[in-house]
Structure 1
């Protein structure tokens, strides 16, 4: 045993009991000795279609009780080398999106005063913009792997410039990203004009539409992304659960058919090992549309896979 925090074993306490933290890890208020801080952002006031992602962090944590600490597919044993804890939920203002985005940014600025990698559980995708602002404050311009059915580069929605569909246009305009090192994977569906899918490519964003990835392993793509970003560039990973086909993840606010599979999700994430990941999030799990719990279970496992490729992870 490493002496680091460990998830409670299902052999010591039944998985349907115990704390409601991510993987039943300890809760922590002191971040000074943590390597990774898991936190929830229970918000859905930035969404434009089906609500419910405010319940996402709670349900993802609940389904994470099934995950064990050793990754059989990769040999990763993150709790052997990283000190990981759940630091709870951010206290957003559920009546004000503008105020909530400010709260998220300020909270992340405080978290990033410590040498810690934050793993956020959303919440709708609007949470990522204030996170990127705080990340940029600490790390400078970031590379980005954005896995999503939607590019989220609208200029505005109903006159609002900060929503779940405008995140990465604002991030580009504010210089938070390295445009030629932005990779948007899984894009698909319909649009209003062709520019919905081409304008961001003019900024330098690299698009990998879902239909070009059907029936393909994503290991090669992940390896190419890893090679192009390089080991020294800080990178943020934002994973929207609607990148997956609704057959795999129906519990989300804006489902699109023809999406990625769960094996493809794992292949892509596993190839990011060796990159300087400074933070990540999993967003858009909507439990009211997730009657079996499969979407939240998949989201919890995606977070575990991301944890398994963070810098400093031990392998057995």
Structure 2
């Protein structure tokens, strides 16, 4: 951001690129502003300093002053840094689709989500959350995956998340296919013990072996149960639907103690009451939120690898995430965005907004009354 501003200043156009604020700029735009000399009738220019409420936080540049199309794409146009050191939360990409069983392309998901996230602004108008006045957040790039070896990729993910979580940082993950939840939850359980899980998806992802393989995007939560990574009495799966390989595709989930909320239970209703029950069930335990974009109906999110008709609406997706407010969230992911099947970019745009909403329900977030 600073390099862009310096370039504009060197061209003598700073006062056309940065307009003065008519109100308190710190409250309105999420950063404080210092005034410079007046050079035309429009008044003094302002220069963002990335401070907020008297504290130093990373604050994205406002599109009122810096064009959305400018700069290198990071999540929400946040600063990039190499590690999670000093961060309360971090956006991180895991660009794989090696575990995909149908349409590929999710390896490009993090890149496209970042591009579409340029539309995001600093405040949540619906909940009045102010994440950039609450947490130090940055984009820490992608895990260096091995696109030729899924098992090695899982090892790399697990090691990367051990390092991230050791700093106390909460990871907000952009997938990638749903295989990534398995090594992330391995790292989570090492730090917190068995964690609670809110799993939003069209599919249960509890298969045992698929085409002779035990690791893939249809098996992560079976592996997690086998390794004792989950508090099975506090696992909720929401939005499950579609055809199955047996008359009851979710029998195994229920046998483990999972609460299964099939999509038919969600049709034509608000999910606020469901989430009140989920919050009571989770209590104060560490909770991981895993959101597969195919939980949403493909009319809203067609850019995914395994679409199923008659899914959740984006409104219900927001209700689920906002319903996590007050929980002890220790990590979140948004997976299975496949840009080759996302011809308008709306699936990635929806994913970016859902990730922003996840950040807005993390512990210690400030809300305006």
TM superposition score category, shorter chain reference: over 0.9
State the secondary structure of the residue aligned to 1:304.
helix
* 1:233 maps onto 2:306 in alignment: no
* 1:277 maps onto 2:329 in alignment: yes
Matched residues in 1 for 2:247 and 2:197: separation?
23
Matched residues in 1 for 2:282 and 2:175: separation?
26
Question: Contact between 2:83 and 2:164, CA under 8 Å: does it hold in 1?
Answer: no
Return 5+ residue gaps in structure 1 as ranges. Answer: none
What does residue range 179-190 of structure 1 map to in structure 2 within 5 Å?
179-190=232-243
Matched residues in 1 for 2:365 and 2:72: separation?
24
Q: Give 2:297's aligned residue.
A: 245
| 1:29-61, Cα deviation, whole Å (9 max, x unpaired) | 242210001100000000000000000000001
Larger radius of gyration: 2
TM-score of the pair, normalised by structure 2: 0.84
The correspondence for 2:246, drawn from 181, 193, 199, is: 193
**Offset of residue 195 of structure 1:** 4.1
**Stretches of 4+ moved more than 3 A in 1?**
none
Q: Give 2:124's aligned residue.
A: 71
State the secondary structure of the residue aligned to 2:166.
coil
**Offset of residue 200 of structure 1:** 1.2
Question: Contact between 2:288 and 2:331, CA under 8 Å: does it hold in 1?
Answer: yes
TM-score of the pair, normalised by structure 1: 0.98
RMSD: 0.8
Q: How many pairs align? A: 315
Question: Contact between 1:36 and 1:118, CA under 8 Å: does it hold in 2?
Answer: yes
Q: Give 1:138's aligned residue.
A: 191
Q: Give 2:215's aligned residue.
A: 162
State the secondary structure of the residue aligned to 1:48.
coil
Return 5+ residue gaps in structure 2 as ranges. Answer: 1-51
Q: Give 2:315's aligned residue.
A: 263
| 1:115-154, Cα deviation, whole Å (9 max, x unpaired) | 1101110000001100000000000000000000000000
Q: Give 1:287's aligned residue.
A: 339
